[in-house]
Amino acid sequence: MASYETHEYDVLIIGAGGAGLRAAIEAAVGDLKVGLVCKSLLGKAHTVMAEGGVAAALANVDERDSWRVHFADTMRGGQYLSNARMAELHAQESPDRVRELEAWGALFDRTQEGGILQRNFGGHQYPRLAHVGDRTGLEMIRALQDHGIHQGIEVHMENTVISLLKTGDRVSGAFGYEREKGRFKVFAAKAVVLATGGVGKAYKVTSNSWEYTGDGHSLAYHAGAELIDMEFVQFHPTGMVWPPSVRGILVTEGVRGEGGILTNSEGTRFMFDDIPELYVNQTADNPEEGWQYTQGDREARRPPELLTRDHVARCIVREVQEGRGSPHGGVFLDIAWIKEKIPNAADYIRRKLPSMYHQFKQLANIDITQEPMEVGPTTHYIMGGIRVDADSQMTAVPGLFAAGECAAGLHGANRLGGNSLSDLLVFGKRAGEYAAQFAMENQAVPIDEAEIDTIAAHTLKPFENPPTDGNGNNMGPYDIQAQLQEKMENLVGIARTQESLTQALDEIQNLREKAENVHAIGNREYNAGWHTALDLDCLITVSEAIALAALERRASIGAHSRDDYPEKEEPGAGKYNTIINKSDDGAMTVRRESIDELRANLQEIIDEIG
Amino acid sequence: MAKATFRIWRGNADNAQFVDYETEVSEGMVVLDAVHRIQAEQANDMAVRWNCKAGKCGSCSAEINGQPKLMCMTRLDTVPLDEPVTIEPMRAFPLIKDLVADVSWNFKVKEQMRPFAPRPPDAEDGTWRMEQEDIDHVQEFRKCIECFLCQDVCHVLRDHSLHDEFIGPRYLVYAASLEMHPIDTENRLEELKNSDGIGYCNITKCCTKVCPEHITITDNAIIPLKERVVDEFYDPIKKLFRVFSR
C-alpha cells in the first residue's frame, strides 16, 4: 500500500497564479478551510510575466468606454465564437476586480487626476489597460499574494498534482507529490478549483516556463470534464528571436501601444498591406494617423500594428516566408524611431518600457532606444480549455471548477491582450465563490484507497523502466519532451493542413507509447527528470486534443489557420465549438456543437457597436 | 562549437560536493541555458529552480563564481570560460538539493509582518486619488521579484545567521513599500526597531549591489526607515514630550 500524508479541505485550489490566488481568497471569505497547491514557490507563476496591463472599462482616460464596448471588442476579437455570457460578465465585473486590487495594496500608474491610468492595446477601441509600466503581472500577483497570505489559506508550495480523485460522479480530492522529498500527498476536498494555466511547453518556441504542461486540462479531461475549442492556440506575434537561447521570450504588445512599428527587411511597414474587413473602419490608413492614435488623439484610428494577435502573427510569418524577414528569421520591431517625434525619446522609452529595455540590453546586447528589435511569433496562450458554466465556472464533473487560462469560453478564436489578467480576476473570484458554495451545500465523500494505490504505482514506474528501449533509443524524459515539442511546432503550429495534423496524431500516439516507458534516474528527492517524466502524460493529452480539434475545424478563423481551408467558415457549418471528451473505451473523441444565438440585448450591443 | 566546464554543487544537506560537467556553449547563452543543457544531457535528476527565464520571477538565484546572481540573466560572455564556472546555491539558506536552497524562512517572515491597511476610499466608487510622484518611490520597491539575492548577501544573515532577529533587506524594502504607501494607515516603527531588527543593518550596501531590479535598497528604503525609527524613539525633544505627556 502506498504511503502518503492526507490533508483535508473544504475547497482545494490547484495553481497559484492570478486565478488560483483570487479563487483562494474568495473561497476563504467565510470560515471554510482552503488549501492551495502550486508547482513553484508562491508568487512565481506565469501571471508574474504579464507585461502590458489588465483590461477593464474604467473609462478613466476616455469616458466613451463602457462594459458594452469592452464586450463588443472581446466578441469581435474572438470572431464571435466566445461564450457571450462569459464575455458579458467579464466586461461588467472587471472594473470592480481591478479597483479591489488597489484596496489590497496594488499601485497602478496614475492619470493627471490621480486615478488609474489606462493604455491602448490591440483590439481595444479605447485606452483600457490599467498597468504598471510593463510589469503589471508582477504587481497583480504580489497584491494577491500579500493579501492572500493573511486569509488563513494553507499553501503547499512546490507540490504537483498527478491525478484528481473521484468518488462516484463527484470529485473528492487530488493526489500529488511534494518536490523536496518526493513524498506523496492526498488532498481530500469537497470542491476543487483548477487554475493551472496553459500548455505552452507542448511547443518548441514558447513564452511559457516549464510549468505550463496542460496539467489542469489533462486532469479535468481524465476526470470526465469536456475540453472546448482546443485548436485555438495563440501565437503571440512578438517573441524574441535572437540569440537562440532566448527565442520565444515575450516582447510586450505595449511596445506597439507606445508607438512601436513593424517593418520588414525592405523597410516597409507591412502591416498596412493587409487589414481585415472586420477592422477596416477602426484602423488608420496612414502612418501619421496611427502615431496620433498612440499619442492619445481621440479622433485617430489605431495603427495596423495593433490589430489582433492572430492577424499580426500571420503577417509576420508571411513576410518571413516571402523572403523579407530579418537576419534571424523574424521582422523588425522599432520603438527607437519615435525620437523623430518626441524630445527625450530614449528616457521616455526607458520609463514606459523598463523591463523590455533591460531584457534586450542584457540578453541580446540591443539598446531598444537606439535600434530595432528582431521579433517573431511565439506560443503564448491557449484560448481553448476546460468547458465551464459561465456563471459558476463548474465543469461537467460535480464539485470540479476551473478558472483562468485552463478554463475556456471567454476568448473564442482569439484573445485580446489584457483580457487574460481581467479573465483570471473575474472568473477566479467566481470559481472561488461557487466552489465555496458547493462545499457548504455538500458533505465530504470518502476517498477510494485502491485508486490511490494504482496512481502511486504508476507515479513510481519511471524509476523501474529501463534506460533504453529494445533498439537502444534513449528513454529519458527530456528526449521525449523535445521530440513532442518539435512535432507540435512543425505540424500543429501557425499553419496547419489535414496532412500535417493526421501525421501529428500518429506521432503523438508513438510518443504516448514511449512516454509509458519513460525512464527516470536517481531517487525521489527534488528530481527534475522524474518530474519531467510525470508531466509528459499531461503534455501528450493536450497535444492530442489540440491536433484533434484542429483537424475537426476545416476552416481558418482566429488563431487557427488551415492552409487547405483558407475560408473563415466551412460552407453550411455555421458557427460552432469543438468539444473533446474521453469516451467510455478511453479514446479521445471530438464533436461539434452549434453556438446559440445571442440574447437579444447582447445582439443589440453588437449591432450598435460592431 | 566551443566547450566549457561548469563546476556545479551536487548533493543534499547530508552530503554534497562540486561536480564538473563539460558542455557545448554558443552565442547568447546564459548560465541557466548551460545548466539546462547539462540537466537534459548528463544529469537528469539535477535540482534547479527556474520559471520565466527573463529576469521577472526571481526563481533561479544562485552564486556564480561566488557572485549572487540570477542564472537566467547572466550571459556566458560575461564570465571567463577558460576556467571552470562554479555554480552554487544561495549559501545564506539551508540546502535542499543541488542548486535549490530552502528559502521558506522568507515566506514566514512576510506572513508575520503587519499587512497593508488602507484609509477609507477617497471617492464614492470606492477608489483613491494618488499623484504619480507620490507613488514613484513605492513603485520602485514594488519592482522586487523576491529572488532573495539581497538576503543571501547580507552579512547579518549570511555570516551571523541572525534570522530570528533580523528580517533582512528584502523585508525592509517590503516594510518601506507599506510605510511609504500613500494610503496605508499602519505604523510599523516599533516592530522595525524591535522584532525586525533594523538596527543590525550597518549600511554596507551589499544588498543594493546585487539587486537584479536595481532597487536602491539601502539609500531609498533602509536609511529613510532608520531615520523614522530614530525620530520616533531617539529624538530628545520627542522623548521629553513623551515624559511630560504621561
CB contact (8 A) between residue B57 and residue A142: no
Query: Which comes out higher in pLDDT, residue A245 or A164?
Result: A164
Residues paired with B2 in a beta bridge? B25
Task: Respond yes or no: is residue A256 known to be catalytic.
Answer: yes
Do strands A154-156 and A34-37 pair parallel, antiparallel, or not at all (unpaired)? parallel
Contacts of B143 in chain A (CB under 8 A): 135, 138
| Topology of domain A236-378, CATH | Flavocytochrome C3; Chain A, domain 1 (3.90.700)
Q: Which three cell numbers stand for residue A381?
A: 496562450
Which residue of B53, B188, B211 to mutate against A (max A Cβ within 10 Å)?
A: B53
Could you tell me which CATH number the domain at B2-101 has?
3.10.20.30
- Mean pLDDT within B206-223: 98
Task: Provide the pLDDT confidence category of residue B234 given band limits of 50, 70 and 90.
Answer: confident
User: DSSP 3-state helix, strand, coil percentages of chain B (rounded to 5)?
Assistant: 40, 15, 45
Instruction: Answer yes or no: are the C-beta atoms of A419 and A411 closer than 8 Å.
Output: yes
Contacts of B97 in chain A (CB under 8 A): 180, 525-526
- The helix (run of H) or strand (run of E) holding residue B41 is helix B31-41
Task: Provide the pLDDT confidence category of residue A24 given band limits of 50, 70 and 90.
Answer: very high
Crossing angle between the packed helical segments B132-141 and B168-179, to the nearest 10 degrees: 160
Task: Provide the pLDDT confidence category of residue B30 given band limits of 50, 70 and 90.
Answer: very high
Which residue of A36, A41, A157 to mutate against B (max B Cβ within 10 Å)?
A: A41
Task: Provide the pLDDT confidence category of residue B148 given band limits of 50, 70 and 90.
Answer: very high
- Mean pLDDT within A102-128: 95
**Chain region(s) in chain B for CATH 3.10.20.30:** 2-101
- Of B116, B125, B142, Cβ closest to residue A104: B116
Which residue of B10, B35, B45 to mutate against A (max A Cβ within 10 Å)?
A: B45
Q: What is the CA radius of gyration of chain B?
A: 21
Contacts of B51 in chain A (CB under 8 A): 40, 44-46, 48, 209-211
pLDDT recorded at residue B241: 74
CB contact (8 A) between residue A245 and residue B28: yes
Q: Catalytic residue among A119, A236, A301, A350, which?
A: A236
pLDDT (tens digit per residue) in A427-464? 999 999 999 999 999 999 999 889 999 999 999 999 99
- Of A139, A142, A244, Cβ closest to residue B26: A244
Task: Provide the pLDDT confidence category of residue B246 given band limits of 50, 70 and 90.
Answer: low
**Residue of A390, A447, A427, A448 lying closest to A190 (CA atoms):** A447
**Chain region(s) in chain B for CATH 1.10.1060.10:** 104-237
Residue B239 has pLDDT above 80, yes or no: no
Residues paired with A129 in a beta bridge? A55, A119
Looking up cell 502550486 gives A38
Compute the distance between CA of residue A193 and CA of residue A427 in angstroms, rounded to an integer.
Answer: 11
Compute the distance between CA of residue A308 and CA of residue A315 in angstroms, rounded to an integer.
Answer: 11
**Which residues lie closer than 8 Å to A313 by C-beta, 6 or more apart?**
A235, A236, A237, A377, A494, A559
**Chain region(s) in chain A for CATH 1.20.58.100:** 449-567
- Mean pLDDT within B13-32: 95
**Residue of A417, A473, A505, A487 lying closest to A203 (CA atoms):** A487
Residue A165 has pLDDT above 70, yes or no: yes
Query: Which comes out higher in pLDDT, residue A225 or B234?
Result: A225
pLDDT (tens digit per residue) in B39-94? 999 999 999 999 999 999 999 999 999 999 999 999 999 999 999 999 999 999 99
Q: Average pLDDT of chain A? A: 96
Residue B243 has pLDDT above 90, yes or no: no
CB contact (8 A) between residue B28 and residue A527: no
Instruction: Give B41→chain A minimum CA distance, Å.
Output: 8
**Chain region(s) in chain A for CATH 3.90.700.10:** 236-378
pLDDT (tens digit per residue) in A262-309? 999 999 999 999 999 989 999 999 999 999 999 989 899 999 999 988
Compute the distance between CA of residue A162 and CA of residue A175 in angstroms, rounded to an integer.
Answer: 6
Contacts of B28 in chain A (CB under 8 A): 242-246, 363-364
Q: Which three cell numbers stand for residue B132?
A: 504619480
**Which residues lie closer than 8 Å to B170 by C-beta, 6 or more apart?**
B106, B144, B146, B148, B150, B151
**Residue of A578, A580, A582 lying closest to A558 (CA atoms):** A578
Please state which architecture CATH assigns to domain B104-237.
Answer: Orthogonal Bundle (1.10)
**Residue of B50, B185, B113 lying closest to A149 (CA atoms):** B113
Task: Provide the pLDDT confidence category of residue B153 given band limits of 50, 70 and 90.
Answer: very high
Instruction: Give B237→chain A minimum CA distance, Å.
Output: 34
- Mean pLDDT within A469-497: 94
Residue A501 has pLDDT above 70, yes or no: yes
Task: Provide the pLDDT confidence category of residue A244 given band limits of 50, 70 and 90.
Answer: confident
**Residue of B74, B220, B72, B62 lying closest to B149 (CA atoms):** B62
Instruction: Answer yes or no: are the C-beta atoms of A159 and A185 closer than 8 Å.
Output: yes
Q: Average pLDDT of chain B? A: 95
Residue B245 has pLDDT above 80, yes or no: no
CB contact (8 A) between residue B116 and residue A113: no
Instruction: Give A258→chain B minimum CA distance, Å.
Output: 19
**Residue of A472, A551, A477 lying closest to A520 (CA atoms):** A477
Residue of B nearest to A243 (CA): B28
CA-CA-CA-CA torsion sign (A26, A31, A37, A42): positive
pLDDT (tens digit per residue) in A310-351? 999 999 999 999 999 999 999 999 999 999 999 999 999 998
**8-state DSSP, A201:** G
Compute the distance between CA of residue A562 and CA of residue A15 in angstroms, rounded to an integer.
Answer: 33
Task: Respond yes or no: is residue A76 known to be catalytic.
Answer: no
Instruction: Answer yes or no: are the C-beta atoms of A426 and A19 closer than 8 Å.
Output: no
Do strands A576-582 and A588-594 pair parallel, antiparallel, or not at all (unpaired)? antiparallel
pLDDT (tens digit per residue) in A363-373? 999 999 999 99
- Mean pLDDT within B112-128: 95
pLDDT recorded at residue A245: 84
Q: Catalytic residue among A256, A301, A415, A519, which?
A: A256
CB contact (8 A) between residue B96 and residue A526: yes
Contacts of A242 in chain B (CB under 8 A): 28
Please state which architecture CATH assigns to domain A449-567.
Answer: Up-down Bundle (1.20)
Contacts of A133 in chain B (CB under 8 A): 139
Instruction: Give A466→chain B minimum CA distance, Å.
Output: 15
The answer to ipTM > 0.90 is: yes
